[in-house]
C-alpha cells in the first residue's frame, strides 16, 4: 500500500518553474463568479457570433467585382489560400455611395492563441479593417489568389456609460470606468479604461486567461483607417474582438492594450492589467511579451502626439511594473508552434529590442513605416519616464508538494542595477479567476533585499509577490502544484480487485497494469478508470485464472487547475 504521492515528471515540469521560463499558467477556477463589473468577465458562448458573417469569393486576379455583404457591417478581413506573400487590399462603401480608400488587408503575424497553434500550411488570415457602416466590399490583389473568403462584423449597440445614461462625469474625468489595481511605478500608472467600457456584458473571453512573462513589449497598429471619432472607439475595439474570437477562433481580442488617437489607453485582453497575460499578438513570442496596438494605420501617417504620448507612458509603466528596462535588447526563444510567422528557425534564440515593433520579430510591415521610424525616439523617452524601477524575484521550493506540506517562498528586491532594497514590505498573493490577486501573507526584505515566507497550499495555486512601492513592482508568477496523496491496496486476489484513497478527492483515478520487469512501464497491459466517491475508490481488474505472472499496479490522477498530476507507489502482485 502507498501513502505518499509520486509526482509525475509532467507535474514537476508544470509546477517547478515560473512563467518566466516559458511555461504557460492558468490561474485556476472561479471564472463564473467574475462578472462584468470585475476584471473582464467570461461571456456566454457565442454571445457575439451573430455579429459575424462570411462571403465566399473564390479566385481573385487583380480587382474583384463589388461583393454585397447582405447586411450592414463595420469591419472586414480577408482569408485566402495563398500565396502568403500576396498584397491584398480592401475597400468598402454604403449602398451606392463613395468607396473608402484602399487599405492593406493581408497583414499577418498575430496569433496563435495558447491551445490553438496555427498550422504551417492552410488558409491565411489578414488583420481586420474598420470601415464604419458599409454593405459592399471590393478587393484587389498583387498576384492571383484562390480560396478567398471575406469575413465581416456587424456593429453592436454602444456600451452604456455614465454620459449615455444622462449623468455627467466629474469635471476632468473620463466618462468610462478605469481598470484596477492602481500601482505607482515608472511615470505613475496612466489612466487605463477598463475592459467593460467597450465589452459590456456577454463579450468575455471563451477561455483563459493564460499567463507567461513580460520580457519585452511589441508595438502594433490595427490597420484601421485614420480619422475616426472618439465615440467610435469602443465599437471599433469590440468589432476587433468579434473578428479575433469568432473568425480567428481565439479566446479573446489578441492585444493586451489598445491606445487611440486621442491619447486614451484601453484594457483589451482580459486577465488583469498588472498581470503577464498571454495575448495573440506576436506569433513566436506571445508567452514572453505584452502587446500594445495603436488604433489606426501608420504606413505613411505618424500617430498623433496624444497617441504617442499615451503609448510611451504605458510602455514605461508596464515594463517598469515587471522589472524590465525600457531600452536595450533581450534574448528570447522563438516558439516552435508559430515560428512560421517569423524569419527565424523554430526554437532559435534571438535578440529583440525591449520595446519592439511587430516587424522586429515577425514577417510583417506592422506597425507601419512612419510609426516604426518613431520607435527610436519612444524608447529613450520611456526610459526617462521610468525613472528607477525595481525588480522583484520569487521562487518556490519544492514547487510540487503533497497535501499539508509547506512550501518555502523566497526572493529578492533590488533596483534594476542590482542594489538591494532593504526594509521593504511585500505582499504575497494568489492569482485566480480573471487575474484577481488576493494577499495571503506578508514579508519584509532584509539588508541584502532578500525575503522569505512559508506557504501551505490547499490546492494548486498561482503565486506572486508584490511591492507596492513606489516604485511598485511584481514578480513573475509561480505555479505551486498540490499532488494528491494516493493509496493503493489489493482487496481480493481472485478475482483481482483493488481499492484505495485519493486526498484531496478527485472525480476519477486510473489504475494501470504493467508486466513486472518493464521498468519503463510505457505500455500497460490493461487500464481501468474508477470513480472516486468521498475520496475512496475500488475496481476489478480484467484478469482471469490464465493470466499468471507478476504484475505492477499504479494508480494515478491527471493534472487540472486544482491539483497536479500524481500517482501511487507501485504495487507488485503475483497471479
Does the domain spanning 49-153 belong to CATH 1.10.3470? no
Q: How confident is the model at residue 134 (pLDDT cuts 50, 70, 90)?
A: very high
Cα Rg for the chain, rounded, in angstroms?
27
When pLDDT is cut at 50, 70 and 90, the band that residue 545 belongs to is low
Domain 49-153 shares a fold with domain 192-386: no
Look at residue 198 and tell me whether its pLDDT is greater than 70.
yes
* Mean pLDDT, residues 418-431 taken together: 97
The reported pLDDT for the residue numbered 114 is 59
Condensed to tens digits (0 to 9), the pLDDT of residues 40-68 reads 344 445 567 889 999 999 999 999 999 99
Q: What is the mean pLDDT of the chain?
A: 87
The CA distance from 344 to 476, in Å, is 27
pLDDT at 5 over 70: no
CATH of domain 11-21+390-482: 2.60.40.10
Q: What are phi and psi of 271, to 5 degrees?
A: 135, -5
Spans of all domains in the chain: 11-21+390-482, 49-153, 192-386, 484-574
User: Measured between alpha carbons, how far apart are the two ends of the chain, in Å?
Assistant: 17
Residue 106: pLDDT band by 50, 70, 90 thresholds? Answer: confident
Nearest to 27 by CA among 405, 459, 322, 404: 459
Q: Cα–Cα distance between 73 and 247 in angstroms, integer?
A: 14
Look at residue 535 in the predicted model and tell me its pLDDT.
95
Angle separating helix axes 375-386 and 305-321, nearest 10 degrees: 50
3-state secondary structure of 383: helix
Residue 321 and residue 473 in contact, taking contact as beta carbons nearer than 8 Å: yes
pLDDT digits (tens, 9 = 90+) for 69-97: 999 999 999 999 978 889 999 999 999 99
Q: How are beta strands 450-455 and 407-415 bridged, if at all?
A: antiparallel
* pLDDT beyond 50 at 22: no
pLDDT in tens, 368-394: 999 999 999 999 999 999 999 999 999
Q: Are 58 and 219 in contact (CB under 8 A)?
A: no
C-alpha distances in Å from residue 157, one per residue of 95, 162, 494: 21, 16, 68
The percent of residues in the chain predicted with pLDDT above 70, rounded, is 85
pLDDT of res. 492: 85
Q: Which CATH number fits domain 192-386: 3.30.499.10, 3.40.80.10, 1.10.3720.10, 3.40.50.300?
A: 3.40.80.10
The alpha carbon of residue 120 and the mean position of all alpha carbons in its chain are separated, in whole angstroms, by 21
Residue scoring higher pLDDT (340 or 324): 324
What percentage of the chain's residues is helix, strand, coil (to nearest 5)? Answer: 15, 35, 50
DSSP sequence for 123-165: -EEPPPEEEEEEEEEEEEESS-EEEEEEEEE---PPPP-TTTT
DSSP result, 435-479: TEEEEEEEEE--TTSEEEEEE--SS-EEEEEEE-SSSPEEPPPEE
Provide the sign of the torsion angle of the four alpha carbons 304, 132, 191, 163, taken in this order.
Answer: positive
Give the C-alpha separation, 463 to 460, whole Å.
10
Extract the C-alpha cell encoding 396.
Answer: 518556490
User: 470 to each of 105, 276, 317, 390, how far by Cα in Å?
Assistant: 44, 20, 12, 9
Instruction: Give the per-residue pLDDT at 42.
Output: 42
- CATH code of domain 484-574: 2.60.40
Q: What phi, psi does 28 have (nearest 5°)?
A: 85, -170
Q: Which of 94, 90, 235 is nearest to 154 (CA)?
A: 235
Q: What is the mean pLDDT of residues 167-175?
A: 52
Least confident residue range of 14-23, 362-371, 553-562: 14-23
Minimal CA–CA distance to 25: which of 431, 459, 482, 453? 431
Amino acid at each position: 500500500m502507498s501513502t505518499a504521492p509520486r509526482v509525475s515528471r509532467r507535474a514537476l515540469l508544470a509546477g517547478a518553474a515560473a512563467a518566466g521560463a516559458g511555461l504557460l499558467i492558468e490561474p485556476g477556477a472561479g471564472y463564473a463568479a467574475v462578472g462584468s463589473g470585475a476584471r473582464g468577465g467570461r461571456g456566454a458562448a457565442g454571445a457575439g457570433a451573430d455579429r459575424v458573417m462570411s462571403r465566399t469569393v473564390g479566385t481573385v486576379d487583380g480587382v474583384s467585382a463589388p461583393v454585397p455583404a447582405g447586411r450592414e457591417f463595420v469591419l472586414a478581413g480577408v482569408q485566402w489560400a495563398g500565396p502568403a506573400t500576396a498584397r491584398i487590399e480592401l475597400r468598402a462603401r454604403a449602398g451606392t455611395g463613395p468607396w473608402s480608400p484602399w487599405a492593406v488587408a493581408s497583414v499577418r503575424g498575430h496569433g496563435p492563441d495558447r491551445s490553438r497553434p496555427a498550422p504551417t500550411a492552410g488558409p491565411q488570415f489578414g488583420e481586420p479593417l474598420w470601415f464604419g457602416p458599409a454593405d459592399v466590399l471590393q478587393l484587389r490583389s498583387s498576384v492571383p489568389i484562390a480560396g478567398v473568403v471575406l469575413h465581416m462584423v456587424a456593429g453592436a449597440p454602444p456600451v452604456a456609460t455614465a454620459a449615455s445614461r444622462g449623468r455627467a462625469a466629474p469635471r476632468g474625468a473620463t466618462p468610462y470606468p478605469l481598470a484596477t489595481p492602481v500601482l505607482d511605478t515608472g511615470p505613475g500608472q496612466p489612466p487605463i479604461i477598463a475592459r467593460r467600457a467597450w465589452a459590456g456584458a456577454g463579450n468575455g473571453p471563451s477561455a483563459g486567461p493564460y499567463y507567461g512573462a513580460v520580457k519585452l513589449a511589441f508595438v502594433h497598429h490595427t490597420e484601421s483607417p485614420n480619422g475616426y471619432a472618439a465615440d467610435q472607439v469602443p465599437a471599433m475595439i469590440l468589432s476587433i474582438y468579434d473578428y479575433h474570437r469568432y473568425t480567428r477562433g481565439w479566446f479573446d481580442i489578441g492585444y493586451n492594450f489598445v491606445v487611440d488617437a486621442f491619447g486614451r489607453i484601453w484594457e483589451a485582453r482580459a486577465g488583469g492589467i498588472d498581470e503577464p497575460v498571454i495575448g495573440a499578438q506576436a506569433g513566436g513570442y506571445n508567452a514572453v511579451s505584452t502587446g500594445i496596438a495603436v488604433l489606426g494605420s501608420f504606413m505613411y501617417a505618424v500617430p498623433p502626439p496624444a497617441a504617442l504620448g499615451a503609448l510611451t507612458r504605458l510602455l514605461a509603466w508596464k515594463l517598469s511594473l515587471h522589472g524590465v528596462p525600457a531600452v536595450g535588447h533581450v534574448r528570447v526563444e522563438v516558439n516552435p508552434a508559430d515560428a512560421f510567422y517569423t524569419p527565424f528557425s523554430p526554437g532559435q534564440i534571438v535578440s529583440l529590442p525591449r520595446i519592439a515593433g511587430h516587424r522586429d520579430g515577425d514577417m510583417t510591415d506592422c506597425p507601419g513605416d512612419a510609426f516604426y521610424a518613431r520607435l527610436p525616439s519612444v524608447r529613450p523617452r520611456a526610459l526617462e519616464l521610468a525613472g528607477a524601477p525595481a525588480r522583484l524575484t520569487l521562487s518556490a521550493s519544492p514547487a510540487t508538494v503533497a497535501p499539508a506540506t509547506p512550501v518555502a517562498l523566497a526572493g529578492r528586491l533590488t533596483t534594476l542595477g542590482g542594489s538591494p532594497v532593504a526594509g521593504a514590505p511585500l505582499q504575497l498573493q494568489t492569482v485566480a479567476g480573471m487575474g484577481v490577486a488576493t494577499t495571503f501573507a506578508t514579508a519584509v526584505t532584509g539588508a541584502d533585499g532578500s525575503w522569505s515566507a512559508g506557504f501551505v497550499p490547499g490546492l494548486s495555486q498561482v503565486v506572486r509577490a508584490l511591492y507596492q512601492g513606489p516604485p511598485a513592482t511584481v514578480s513573475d508568477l509561480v505555479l505551486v502544484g498540490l499532488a494528491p496523496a494516493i493509496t493503493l491496496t489489493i482487496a481480493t486476489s481472485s478475482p483481482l480487485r483493488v481499492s484505495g484513497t485519493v486526498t484531496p478527492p478527485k472525480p476519477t483515478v486510473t489504475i494501470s497494469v504493467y508486466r513486472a520487469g518493464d521498468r519503463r512501464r510505457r505500455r500497460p497491459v490493461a487500464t481501468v478508470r474508477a470513480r472516486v466517491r468521498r475520496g475512496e475508490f475500488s475496481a476489478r481488474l480484467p484478469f482471469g485464472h490464465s493470466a499468471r505472472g507478476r504484475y505492477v499496479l499504479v494508480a494515478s490522477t491527471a493534472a487540472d487547475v486544482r491539483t497536479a498530476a500524481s500517482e501511487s507507489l507501485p504495487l507488485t502482485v503475483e497471479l
